[in-house]
Structure 1
Amino acid sequence: MFMNSNFFEPGKSKPERTFIQTAVKQHTRFDGRKSTEFRDVQLNFGSDWGTVAVSMGDTKVLAQVSCDIGMPTSARPNEGTLFLNVDIKGVSFLDEVQTTHDQRSLTLNSLLERTFRSSRCLDLESLCIAVEQYVWCVRVDINVLNHDGNLYDASTIAAMTALMHFRRPEVSYIDGKLHTYSERERELMPLLFLHYPVSCTYCVYKSSNYPLVDPTLLEENAADSVIVLSFNSYQELCTLNAGGSAPTNVRTIMQCARGAAKRSKDLVQFIRKALELDEQRRQVPQQAVGLLDLLSNKAPRFSFKQLLAEDAMETDVVEQEINAEPMENTLEEATEAANKPAPQQTDTVKAVDDEEWLPQAEEQPMETEAAPTPGKSAKLKPNRNKGKAKGKKQQATPRKQAQSDSEEEVTQII
């Protein structure tokens, strides 16, 4: 039924490692993907709230959320609790080696704790019923059905989707009495979130400077270093985990961070779209989806690539409809502007011609100086001054109107 049902872990032997290292050096992957290409993510929702099956290629994970009323901790009496648990007993080759099993389970649990609890993505104060008395205790159980690499990303997507899909009953605490309402009395309430973290895993090799995203089990076991980045939908860094023997510089980490931030934003958008479609599907009465339907192809699936392709097509159609009218207006305005540039250009040319006549005004008094009358030189001197004053006035009026006005007033007073 599963791919890795044999009793050995692929990618651990030395020939396999050298073969994968040479393939990475030639920029080739066994499944035909590019170094920055992800596998398709598919979501299957069960009949119960908070039950989700996630598949990334041959990696399959089942997450289920449950809640119970309990006592708060003494350190935080007004907050609920969130508990995460990963069970990898379904993988056969990890059961044979106890050290590998314990190491993988501890690593997964610690990374999930850092991603969801340390980043405080869930509003734990909203889970408080009565301070220091009753709070909601939320538990997320993740079961690994098949492991073909990148188990951490699949677990975080499953946990995030299951928490967003979960609904809890409403509770009232009046006069020291706690009453839990059924689904028929009051509608179930979803959990409140502060942000939505999603992880992204990269593998770094000494033989290549380009890290591989979303590695398979062979690529993950043969990698020299593994970088795990968790970003939320606001593209804020939540967790960073890097370890291995390959040197990782700042440029490589920043390159991985840019891709992980974009990937997390797209995944959160995909999860929200899938939840909306599942809610519409639940309104139609139909047969309940069981565990066997989740593991098989009978249950309805929501594919990441298909939903994003549909959203891209819808946005393109909307943009074309929105931009249709402005394009017509711009064409009309362009035709009107094409008919009116001639008078505007002539006006600008006239303005330049008007400025060109200014030096000619200075030449006019020079002509009068060239042909003066012999007996009236004393009378012509004031005429020369008047001509110069007029020339100065004509030159000063377009530039400094205030000076010309002041000169005229002064001459009148004098």
Structure 2
Amino acid sequence: MAKDTELSANERAFILEALQKNVRLDGRPLDQFRSLNLTFGDEYGVIVRISAEVTAPRPERESDGIFTVSIELNDMAIPGFETGRQSDSETQLSRTLDKIVRRSNALDTESLCIAKGLSCWNVRADVHIVDADGGLVDICCLAIMAALLHFRLPESTVRDGKVTVYSAEEKVPVPLNLTKVPLSVTFNLYDEGKTTLLDATSSEEAVSEGSLIIALDKTGEIALYSKADGTPADPLNMVACSATALAKVRELNALIQRKLEEDSKARGQKGLRAESSAANER
């Protein structure tokens, strides 16, 4: 994704020579992710902002709600990026995430229907990238899926054609109906496809000969398998990449679940403290 990263000829040669010796500049093994951390704010949603509003369904999908993904890059995240002008990298990133998350039907849009042909929920995932050093597809995909799992949709009812949306105090919001949790693992290729690199930095991406994106859920169901550019890939390496991707997706899924459980527990304790404080005041 970062082919436009500016590197000198010496930097390129140094990175490639190191990779031929199975050495990365940051000391990681070729098949290791950088350290990941996932945090949640006070509202439901993570780095990705999830929002929902009541709207009319699309005429051709009267029983479905609407789900969209929006990506925002800026020059603070990527030096030299022209804010407000969509680049090829931004377009490619948006299309890839759309295929993985939206077109894979990870979110059951039928469950977003409020009244057939009249009203539905429009759920939107706004991805704000504040810092970038390669691996954008993988980290954005993880953030979107974690945000969707974390988000709670307000309860609503329909009476005489009128939609009533309840606040969290009136009725407890409900989780979104996710049929699967696809996560992405990107491999960059070197040495005519013989060497594969996991979670490449922007410098490593800039000198790669192509990339392979594998998105799947923890059961192994594939959402996207894309080798869109660069050098032809070695078939045996592709088999190995698929096995590695499944193992990594299961690790990432476990991370998300652990963080969700920690957040839920913290919220529960916070609620108990608030109730106790209110009782003492009474």
Distance 1:98 1:278, change over 3 A: closer
Residue 160 (structure 1) aligns with:
145
Pick from 60, 63, 86 the counterpart of residue 75 of structure 1. 60
Paired with 1:257 and 1:94, the residues of 2 have a C-alpha distance of 34
Q: Which residue identity is paired with 2:39?
A: N
Contact 1:121-1:194 at 8 Å conserved across structures: yes
Paired with 1:77 and 1:245, the residues of 2 have a C-alpha distance of 42
Residue 260 (structure 1) aligns with:
245
Deviations 1:120-175 (A, max 9, x none): 01011110000011000000001111111101111001100011000111000022
Contact 1:235-1:262 at 8 Å conserved across structures: no
Paired with 1:13 and 1:240, the residues of 2 have a C-alpha distance of 32
Paired with 2:193 and 2:20, the residues of 1 have a C-alpha distance of 5
Residue 107 (structure 1) aligns with:
92
- How far the C-alpha of 1:207 sits from its partner, in A, is 6.0
Paired with 1:277 and 1:97, the residues of 2 have a C-alpha distance of 36
Contact 1:79-1:125 at 8 Å conserved across structures: yes
Pick from 35, 41, 45 the counterpart of residue 40 of structure 2. 45
Pick from 214, 219, 225 the counterpart of residue 240 of structure 1. 225
Residue 185 (structure 1) aligns with:
170
Paired with 1:241 and 1:281, the residues of 2 have a C-alpha distance of 39
Residue 210 (structure 2) aligns with:
225
- How far the C-alpha of 1:92 sits from its partner, in A, is 4.5
Distance 1:243 1:23, change over 3 A: farther
Contact 2:192-2:232 at 8 Å conserved across structures: no
Contact 1:80-1:137 at 8 Å conserved across structures: yes
Paired with 1:18 and 1:113, the residues of 2 have a C-alpha distance of 35
Pick from 41, 50, 56 the counterpart of residue 65 of structure 1. 50
Residue 95 (structure 1) aligns with:
81
Residue 293 (structure 1) aligns with:
none
Q: Which deviates more, 226-235 or 87-96?
A: 87-96
Give 1 or 2: higher helix fraction: 1
Paired with 2:222 and 2:198, the residues of 1 have a C-alpha distance of 17
Q: Which of 1 and 2 has greater Rg?
A: 1
TM-score, scaled relative to structure 2: 0.90
Paired with 2:94 and 2:54, the residues of 1 have a C-alpha distance of 23
- How far the C-alpha of 1:91 sits from its partner, in A, is 2.2
Residue 281 (structure 1) aligns with:
266
Residue 28 (structure 1) aligns with:
23
Paired with 2:164 and 2:84, the residues of 1 have a C-alpha distance of 46
Distance 1:113 1:203, change over 3 A: same
Q: Which deviates more, 24-33 or 241-250?
A: 241-250
Deviations 1:2-23 (A, max 9, x none): xxxxxxx645433322221111
Q: Which residue identity is paired with 2:239?
A: M
Contact 1:25-1:207 at 8 Å conserved across structures: no
Contact 1:22-1:207 at 8 Å conserved across structures: no
SS at match of 1:262: helix
Query: How do residues 391-410 of structure 1 correspond to structure 2 at under 5 angstroms?
Result: none
1:136 aligns with 2:131: no
> Could you list the runs of 5+ residues in structure 2 that have no partner in the other structure?
272-282
- How far the C-alpha of 1:281 sits from its partner, in A, is 0.4
TM-score, scaled relative to structure 1: 0.62
Deviations 1:347-394 (A, max 9, x none): xxxxxxxxxxxxxxxxxxxxxxxxxxxxxxxxxxxxxxxxxxxxxxxx
Pick from 107, 113, 118 the counterpart of residue 103 of structure 2. 118
Q: Which residue identity is paired with 2:33?
A: F
Q: Which residue identity is paired with 1:43?
A: L
Asked which structure has the greater RCO (Cα within 8 Å, sep 6+), the reply is: 2
SS at match of 1:94: coil
- How far the C-alpha of 1:94 sits from its partner, in A, is 3.5
Runs of 4 or more, structure 1, over 4 Å off, are 96-99
1:169 aligns with 2:154: yes
Q: Which residue identity is paired with 1:112?
A: L
SS at match of 1:95: coil
Paired with 1:41 and 1:141, the residues of 2 have a C-alpha distance of 20
Cα RMSD, aligned residues only? 1.8
> Could you list the runs of 5+ residues in structure 1 that have no partner in the other structure?
1-8, 53-61, 287-414
Contact 1:11-1:17 at 8 Å conserved across structures: no
Pick from 195, 214, 223 the counterpart of residue 199 of structure 2. 214
- How far the C-alpha of 1:177 sits from its partner, in A, is 2.1
Number of equivalenced pairs: 267
SS at match of 1:43: coil
Contact 2:73-2:83 at 8 Å conserved across structures: no
